[in-house]
Amino acid sequence: MFSYNDLQVIDVVARRGSFSAAAEELHKVPSAISYTVRLIEERLVVDLFVRMHRQVKLTAAGEYFVEEARNLIKQMEQMRLQTQRVANGWSQSVSVALDTVVRESRVNTLVRDFYQAFPDVELHLTMEVFNGVWDALADGRADIAIGATAAVPVGGYFAYRDMGTLSWKFVVCKDHPLAKSEHKLGPDELAQYPAICIEDTSRTLPKRVTWLMDNQRRIMVPNWHSALQCLKAGLGVCVVPAHMAMPRIETGELVEKQLVNKPPVSPCCLAWNTENSNPALDWLLDYLGDSEQLHREWMR
């Protein structure tokens, strides 16, 4: 019903209080401003202004219309700006998949710094487990993945940056029967107790389990927070990322035990979809740094 120009005229007349003042600001003649206002009022079949000698005053209907008109003007400006940004490679959002092995405390800093740099771009974060990270990248649910572990199970337009290796520690609670064992623990002894396993979040790719003995019962949990709660309660046994285990070992909350078959270290990487390049993603790649910085800030 109304053009951007129509809404702008009403806004300026309401703000300046007269047709002549509005005409001066909009670089038009007063008769053109008066004519535009009259046409809008005819379309609405209401009076927006009370005409006085040299001034105009908003009616109740006019006050409502001006408020809504200003909201529409803001939306139009935002749409114009966003359209230009999309044309120049900007995106309205960036999706980041984080493997649950990364340091959670680092996530808060990432979010704060991202929104300082891009206040009008949404950051979408998901926590994934094992192949769930690669699945999110391959399926397009994520533009970038932090802490992806094991071999790359997908092909496509992806680039990678080494994050070093993730080491594991076998731990039990201080009251667990295995806590007092002085020898290295073998598969038969370990299989007597349930293994606490993190559920792989992959939807399409084959799911992985990092550590499990033959014929061992499982306790399936959604994340490492739940796994640690089960460990502290003595409900089972498992291997835990070293950077999560060490603080709890140092306080005596958990006890580290040696295994006959030591779990191998897990290579980790930063991965991203090269087809989704945009300024926000480029900023993230630069912000996250090189391999040494990635390992220091996310894996220790």
CATH number at residue 70: 1.10.10.10
In the structure encoding, which two tokens stand for residue 268, read together? 């980790």
Q: Are residues 183 and 207 in the same domain?
A: yes
Given this model, what pLDDT does residue 297 score?
A: 93
Distance (Å, whole) CA 251 – CA 245: 10
Q: Are residues 158 and 279 in the same domain?
A: yes
Q: Are residues 259 and 175 in the same domain?
A: yes
Q: Record the pTM.
A: 0.67
- Summarised one tens digit per residue, pLDDT across range 62-113 is 999 999 999 999 999 888 877 776 676 566 789 999 999 898 889 999 999 9
In the structure encoding, which two tokens stand for residue 206, read together? 């084959």
Nearest to 125 by CA among 104, 87, 100, 98: 98
Q: Are residues 175 and 60 in the same domain?
A: no
Q: Which residue, 66, 87, 108, sits at the end of a domain? A: 87
Q: Which residue, 48, 70, 87, sits at the end of a domain? A: 87
CATH number at residue 125: 3.40.190.10
13 neighbors 7 (Cβ within 8 angstroms):
no
Beta strands in the chain (DSSP E): 49-51, 56-58, 93-99, 122-128, 144-149, 158-166, 168-173, 195-198, 218-221, 238-241, 254-256, 266-273
DSSP state letter for 263: P
Nearest to 47 by CA among 211, 6, 267, 38: 38
How many CA atoms does the CB half-sphere of 142 hold within 13 Å? 24
How many CA atoms does the CB half-sphere of 282 hold within 13 Å? 7
Residue by residue, DSSP assigns 19-78 as: HHHHHHHHTS-HHHHHHHHHHHHHHHTS--EEE-SS-EEE-HHHHHHHHHHHHHHHHHHH
Q: If the chain, 300 residues long, is cut into consecutive pieces of 10 residues, what is the mean pLDDT of each piece?
A: 91 94 93 94 94 92 95 88 68 87 90 91 91 89 88 73 92 92 92 93 85 91 92 94 93 93 90 86 94 91
Given this model, what pLDDT does residue 299 score?
A: 86
Domains: count for the chain: 3
Q: What share of the chain is helix, strand, coil (3-state, %, to 5)?
A: 45, 20, 35
Given this model, what pLDDT does residue 291 score?
A: 93
CATH number at residue 256: 3.40.190.290
- Summarised one tens digit per residue, pLDDT across range 154-168 is 667 888 899 999 899
Q: Which residue, 52, 87, 122, sits at the end of a domain? A: 87
Q: Are residues 25 and 58 in the same domain?
A: yes
Q: Are residues 32 and 178 in the same domain?
A: no
Q: Are residues 206 and 251 in the same domain?
A: yes
Given this model, what pLDDT does residue 88 score?
A: 61
Given this model, what pLDDT does residue 26 score?
A: 92
Residues 6 or more apart whose Cβ sits within 8 Å of residue 8: 26, 73
Q: Are residues 253 and 190 in the same domain?
A: yes
Q: Are residues 174 and 253 in the same domain?
A: yes
Q: Are residues 244 and 276 in the same domain?
A: no
Taking each helix axis as running N to C, give the angle between helix 279-288 and helix 104-117, from 0 to 180 degrees, rounded to the nearest 10.
140
Phi-psi region of 150 (alpha: psi -120 to 50; beta: other; left: phi over 0): left
Nearest to 94 by CA among 277, 230, 236: 277
**Domain with 107 in it:** 93-165+267-298
